[in-house]
Copies of this chain bind each other. A is one copy, B any other.
């Protein structure tokens, strides 16, 4: 989707001219509730056809409450790790285009793990920005900025993780957020514990790059970070109500990212249920997050505009399934029936729990199997707010609004293509992790490994666990999807690794 300067121009005017008070408040309040590293199964809400043992293990009564009043997405996708997802969310660009394909933190510093025989490509280690002038970055425009220009009050609470330290994008205000609670370059947190001042020494200096800023008043108070963020968010909602503007709250929890600190409000309950300690701690993290959702829903019902408040629940990548120090159970099973987890292009790494409640639009307790991708949130939220999509000669939005799905449409689609590119090496290994790319089209998903040339083909609806690789039995389909994936990657100017010995680039999926 490309643009003329004209359409973008009209946005600021909306706030100053067309939208009087009544018009402004006719527009919905929007809460984007984003959880970090939460897997598809880390909830008592079944997102698959069956209620699984994980659905019975976790207790998320407020997600159940939200699902009862909104639409559940069974096939919602994000990228396999945080930075690509966050950068797609804020710019609307696919990860292959923005090239923020691994996780960011320090400026001009790659977090790739070096490997033998493969030379990793350059990627945008500085994340995304709204302005030129920073090397190794993708320049895009934030939907939040567009909402702000159209008259929305814009609130950021929690994890940002858009730009590396000392780049403009590290600051949520750069993206149009008028309030920033605790967001910075960090993609995780040093600790959830106020006893450790969320990562600060007693003298107030951070002892970690992942120290959480802005929660000083809760230091030593016994308040878990999830709760502190929630209380600050509720205060910001109180202000928003007074302002007489519609608002967007990007409630972006650091939960349930590692470290899996115990949320003591809930931990013992899970021990009593018989969970082993790590999973009990993890379940307490999840329920603390769910309580936050409930507190915000309560605020909307009591203090807000329940009939005109959209709540979107989403996670940024699959649940962690590669680090035994943090989770119990066999490796790669923590998102079962999905295979593997965070970092993988298998479903365990990219399929997310997603629910949308849009009063008057979404059918209560409805379910859709239509698939959506993280960059689709950008045009969808603009649709919800009645803000025209910007038309800009440079900035490209790859996302497609799923407003139609929310209104009840079943696309029955076979042609929408979702792609992932991960020509990097993350810090963990496992099935579907590292040096690969993938395409979902209709029921099929093709995963291609740059280093080995291996291709995997799965029929997702009939083989949700991706156990049967149909690549050998369906060569024509493999060829077609390889061509589609290769074309899309090249069209987006994606990067790829090369072979160290020869110096030659690894083939595109349709070159092998």
Is A392 a contact of B141 with CB atoms below 8 Å?
no
One digit per residue, 1 when the CB lies within 8 angstroms of any chain B CB and 0 when it does not, for chain A 3-31 equals: 00111111011011101110111000000
* Complex contacts, A216 vs chain B, CB 8 Å: 216
Which segment of A33-41, A165-173, A259-267, A441-449 sits at the interface? A165-173
Query: Can you name the residue of chain B whose Cβ is closest to the Cβ of A140?
Result: B16
C-alpha gap A139/B14 in the complex (Å): 12
Min Cβ gap A76→B in Å is 29
Question: In the complex, how many residues of chain A place their beta carbon closer than 8 angstroms to a beta carbon of chain B?
Answer: 48
* Complex contacts, A217 vs chain B, CB 8 Å: 204
* Complex contacts, A243 vs chain B, CB 8 Å: 133-134, 166-168
Is A16 a contact of B179 with CB atoms below 8 Å?
no
For residue A130, CB closer than 8 A to chain B, the reply is yes
- List residues of A (354-407) whose CB comes within 8 Å of B's CBs: 392-395
For residue A65, CB closer than 8 A to chain B, the reply is no
C-alpha gap A299/B242 in the complex (Å): 40
Taking A153-B168, A174-B178 as contacts, is the C-beta distance between A12 and B141 under 8 angstroms? yes
Is B394 a contact of A16 with CB atoms below 8 Å?
yes
Min Cβ gap A44→B in Å is 38
- List residues of A (132-189) whose CB comes within 8 Å of B's CBs: 132-134, 139, 141, 151, 153, 166-168, 171, 173-174, 177-179
A12-B141, A15-B131 known, 20 other contacts, Cβ within 8 Å? A6-B9, A8-B9, A9-B9, A13-B393, A16-B130, A16-B139, A16-B392, A21-B133, A21-B134, A24-B131, A107-B242, A131-B151, A131-B245, A133-B244, A134-B243, A166-B243, A168-B178, A168-B243, A171-B179, A173-B179
| 4 tightest Cβ-Cβ pairs between the two chains A and B | A9-B9, A133-B244, A173-B178, A21-B133
A-B contact pairs, 11 of them (CB 8 A): A5-B13, A16-B130, A20-B132, A21-B134, A133-B151, A134-B243, A153-B168, A166-B243, A173-B173, A173-B179, A216-B216
